[in-house]
């Protein structure tokens, strides 16, 4: 067994109905050849399959004979003959009393067999049947479904407790967090109804899968759920779907979840993973993770304000995470955060601009996106910046970086053009720090404004977020420099690196790149003199050090000096490394 985390798997009802105990025994032993197993979630119901209680009890005993704990699982899909619903995935219509009654029976039966139950991520509804339309009345679908599913959550937890007062009930949330409210997932309320939550960290292929989820989500969603229900996020759940053709993409789901502090990993599903070659590869990687994780502290990063039920610039933070920016998403506006990112989703909060003004005025360091700017033009954001969205577009691949604070301008070129919305601004009232150059003009990619004692930056986001990956290394470096201003480490690299920082002077870097290359890691300030690889013990020291003047508009101090130390480390494609910062006195 691993020391830093637990491993689990999920056996679905169709498999449990069709297999016999001898075949199941073989599967258990095959699984244990590659990976230890602390727990298995045994599904009692899915779709048309219900596992008979007598058989389930025998299955529980078999797993127990191997020292494997068992919990119950339910997938909330159902098709009742003669009472069909026109729905996606056969998810239930919870407005319909026939479906609701049958679902409560399933919950009660499961609670009789298990002291712990997890709901697979089908505990939602997208039904628009006539009965739902009538019940919704003049509410929006999100409003109706959020209320419906919150009420149902209370009902099923109460039903389970009636059958088994000791039942610990867990809701698993899916990876498509930006769509929760439209399908009734309501973590703001449900976190206080269920005993625990669980997180789906399945990173699908963003190019060919409709979800367009970036691989950084396997980290960010664990962090987000940890902020939603501190200490009650059970772990990360992933499968081989969407990544079965890429071993790195499969294994990194587990790695990134563990980087984020997941306490348990659940592999879906038991039948396929027992025989998959991916399980052997995963077992080797988890042994490595187990040796390193104990050296890492609590994750930290740029605070990303993602209010409950928000939408807008969906998945953008994960694209930025893939550009080497360490992020810490939260449903709460963190007034004490050293730095923060606000996207169009943040504008869900009607008071967000006033909160932002107060934060920056007191010395806060904030980056807003062009989506946030557009969403708050009528809410006072013009008090902080002269930037105005125009709706016009510009395209190019040549840039200047003109950092007012660093008194330094240079030019760089990307391989492919990027399409941006044109932001108008007033020169010298607002500073263009990064500009996109066209034939005889230029347009802002990043703007800077002073407000009170702090700084506000506006980052112009392409309509196609993946075009962020086209930005050249020097542009991404300056964006990373700005966004991580209060963190000890940032990267100078092309896109497709992940940076993960911790509060005990450790950090990790993950390469999503297709090629091996040298990576530049930049240390900020004088506190540290180098880094050491936590696994190999190899030390790295700066190639170049220097004091670069950083002008800052400050009533008490007009100029400060910030030292940036550049280290170069060799990096393997699809690999991760762990480092500790070496203190100046060591």
What's the pLDDT score for residue 147?
Answer: 97
Looking at residue 562, its pLDDT comes to 67
Rounded CA gap, 383 and 380, in Å?
Answer: 6
pLDDT of residue 248: 85
By mean pLDDT, which of 67-71, 445-449, 542-546 is the weakest? 542-546
CB 339 within 8 A of CB 363: no
Contact 201, 217 (CB under 8 A): yes
Identify the band that residue 312 occupies on the pLDDT scale cut at 50, 70 and 90. very high
| pLDDT of res. 407 | 63
Coil, strand or helix at 53: helix
> pLDDT by residue (tens digit) across 21-53?
999 999 999 999 999 999 999 999 999 999 999
Helix (H) or strand (E) holding 40, with range, is strand 39-46
Is the pLDDT at 328 greater than 80, yes or no? yes
User: What is the C-alpha to C-alpha distance for residues 435 and 420, in angstroms, rounded to an integer?
Assistant: 11
Give the CA count within 13 Å in the CB-facing half-sphere of 328. Answer: 23
pLDDT at 216: 97
**Residues 6 or more apart from 382 whose CB is under 8 A from it?**
388
Q: For residue 555, what pLDDT is reported?
A: 33
178 alpha-carbon distance from chain centroid: 11
* pLDDT level of residue 546 (50, 70, 90 thresholds): very low
Which residue shows structure tokens 């610990």? 168
What is the model's pLDDT at position 88?
A: 78
Among the listed residues 111, 126, 122, 102, the one whose alpha carbon sits nearest the alpha carbon of residue 171: 122
Statement: residue 558 has pLDDT above 50: no
Q: For the residues of 307-358, what is the DSSP string, one character each?
A: -TT--SSTTHHHHHHTBT--EEEESS--TT-SEEEE-GGGGGSTTHHHHHHH
List pLDDT tens digits, range 78-87.
Answer: 888 767 777 7
Distance CA 440, CA 38 (A): 64
Would you say residue 389 has pLDDT above 80? yes
Q: Are strands 497-502 and 506-511 parallel, antiparallel or unpaired?
A: antiparallel
User: In this structure, are residues 226 and 233 in contact, taking their beta carbons and an 8 Å threshold?
Assistant: yes
Sequence-separated (6 or more) residues with CB below 8 Å from residue 86: 127, 128, 129
Mean pLDDT for all residues in the chain? 93
- 179-208: b or e for each residue (b if 16 or more CB lie within 10 Å)? bbbbbbbbbbebbebbebbbbbbbbbbbee
Q: Is the model more confident about 578 or about 546?
A: 578
The Cα–Cα gap between 436 and 356 comes to 27
Across residues 306-315, what is the average pLDDT? 95
Residue 163 has pLDDT above 60, yes or no: yes
Quote the pTM value.
0.95
The DSSP annotation for 140-188 comes to -HHHHHHHHHHHHHHHHHHHHHHH-TT-EEEEEEPS-GGGHHHHT--HH
| Cβ neighbours, 10 Å, residue 88 | 12
> 393 pLDDT exceeds 80?
yes
In tens, the pLDDT along 212-257 reads: 899 999 999 999 999 999 999 999 999 988 766 678 889 999 999 9
Point out the least confidently predicted range of 187-191, 277-281, 490-494: 277-281
d(CA 534, CA 579): 5
* pLDDT range class, residue 548, cuts 50, 70, 90: very low
Q: Is the dihedral of CA 334, 335, 338, 343 positive or negative?
A: positive
pLDDT category at 572 given cuts 50, 70, 90 is very high
Q: What is the pLDDT of residue 187?
A: 97
pLDDT above 60 (res 557):
no
| Mean local confidence (pLDDT), 167-177 | 97
Q: Which two tokens stand for residue 183?
A: 């399908």
pLDDT given for residue 82 in this prediction: 64
What six digits make up the tokens of 111? Answer: 């609670």
Average confidence (pLDDT) over 370-392: 97
**Which residues, in sequence order, are CB contacts of 414 under 8 Å at separation 6+?**
397, 398, 399, 470, 471, 472, 475
Is the pLDDT at 317 greater than 70? The verdict is yes
Distance between CA atoms of residues 522 and 429, nearest Å? 31
CA–CA gap between residue 123 and residue 91 (Å, rounded): 8
Q: What is the mean pLDDT of residues 482-501?
A: 96
CB atoms within 10 A of CB 277: 9
Share of the chain above pLDDT 70, in %: 95
pLDDT given for residue 283 in this prediction: 95
The pLDDT of residue 247 is 84
Please count the other Cβ atoms lying within 10 Å of the Cβ belonging to residue 392.
11
Q: Is pLDDT larger for residue 308 or for residue 404?
A: 308
* Residues 71 and 101: beta-carbon distance below 8 Å: no
- Selection from 170, 179, 203, 486 nearest residue 319 by Cα: 203
Over residues 476-482, the mean pLDDT reads 97
Q: Which comes out higher in pLDDT, residue 564 or 321?
A: 321
User: Residue 420 pLDDT more than 50?
Assistant: yes
The strand pairing partners of 39, in sequence order, are 8, 69
pLDDT of 79 reads 81
> Quick check: 262 and 200 in contact, CB under 8 A?
no
As given in the structure block, the two tokens for residue 459 are 């980052």
First to last CA, the chain: 35
pLDDT over threshold 80, residue 556 = no
| Distance separating alpha carbons of residues 173 and 119, to the nearest angstrom | 9
Alpha-carbon distances, residue 293 vs 270, 396, 456, 573 (angstroms): 25, 43, 35, 21
């Amino acid at each position: 067994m691993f020391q830093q985390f637990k491993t689990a798997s999920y056996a679905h009802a169709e498999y449990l109905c069709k297999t016999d105990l001898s075949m199941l025994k073989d599967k258990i032993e095959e699984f244990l050849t590659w990976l230890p197993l602390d727990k298995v979630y045994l599904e009692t119901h899915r779709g048309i399959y219900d596992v008979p209680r007598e058989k389930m009890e025998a299955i529980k005993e078999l797993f127990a004979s191997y020292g494997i704990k068992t919990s119950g699982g339910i997938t909330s899909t159902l098709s009742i003959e003669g009472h069909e619903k026109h729905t996606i995935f056969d998810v239930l219509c919870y407005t319909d009393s026939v479906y609701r009654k049958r679902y409560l029976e399933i919950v009660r039966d499961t609670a009789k067999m298990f002291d712990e139950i997890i709901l697979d991520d089908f505990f939602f509804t997208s039904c628009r049947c006539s009965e739902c339309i009538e019940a919704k009345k003049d509410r929006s679908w999100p409003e109706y479904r959020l209320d419906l599913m919150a009420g149902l959550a209370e009902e099923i937890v109460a039903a389970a407790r009636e059958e088994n007062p000791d039942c610990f009930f867990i809701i698993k949330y899916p990876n498509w967090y930006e769509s929760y409210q439209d399908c009734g997932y309501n973590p703001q309320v449900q976190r206080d109804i269920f005993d625990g939550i669980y997180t789906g960290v399945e990173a699908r292929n963003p190019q060919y899968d409709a979800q367009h989820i970036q691989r950084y989500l396997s980290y960010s969603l664990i962090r987000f759920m940890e902020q939603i229900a501190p200490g009650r996020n059970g772990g990360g759940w992933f499968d081989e779907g969407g990544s079965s053709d890429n071993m790195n993409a499969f294994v990194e789901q587990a790695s990134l979840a563990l980087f984020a502090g997941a306490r348990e990993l659940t592999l879906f599903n038991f039948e396929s993973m027992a025989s998959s070659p991916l399980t052997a590869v995963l077992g080797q990687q988890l042994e490595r993770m187990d040796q390193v994780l104990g050296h890492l502290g609590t994750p930290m990063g740029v605070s990303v304000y993602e209010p409950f039920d928000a939408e807008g610039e969906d998945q953008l933070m994960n694209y930025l995470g893939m550009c080497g920016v360490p992020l810490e998403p939260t449903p709460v506006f963190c007034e004490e955060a050293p730095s923060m990112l606000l996207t169009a989703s943040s504008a869900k909060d009607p008071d967000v601009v006033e909160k932002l003004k107060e934060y920056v005025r007191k010395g806060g360091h904030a980056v807003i996106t062009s989506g946030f700017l557009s969403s708050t033009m009528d809410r006072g954001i013009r008090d902080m910046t002269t930037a105005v969205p125009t709706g016009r577009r510009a395209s190019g691949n040549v840039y200047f970086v003109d950092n007012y604070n660093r008194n330094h301008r240079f030019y760089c070129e990307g391989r492919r053009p990027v399409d941006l919305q044109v932001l108008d601004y007033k020169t010298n009232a607002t500073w263009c720090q990064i500009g996109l150059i066209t034939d005889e003009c230029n347009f802002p990619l990043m703007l800077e404004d002073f407000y009170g004692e702090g700084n506000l930056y506006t980052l112009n986001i392409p309509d196609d977020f993946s075009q962020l990956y086209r930005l050249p290394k020097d542009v991404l470096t300056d964006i990373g420099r700005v966004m991580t201003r209060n963190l000890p480490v940032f990267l100078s690299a092309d896109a497709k690196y992940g940076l993960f920082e911790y509060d005990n002077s450790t950090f990790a870097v993950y390469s999503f790149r297709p090629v091996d290359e040298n990576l530049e890691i930049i240390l900020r300030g004088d506190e540290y003199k180098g880094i050491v690889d936590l696994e190999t013990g190899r030390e790295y020291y700066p190639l170049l050090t220097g004091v670069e003047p950083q002008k800052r508009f400050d009533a008490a101090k007009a100029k400060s000096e910030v030292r940036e130390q550049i280290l170069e480390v060799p990096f393997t494609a699809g690999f991760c490394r762990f480092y500790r910062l070496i203190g100046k006195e060591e």
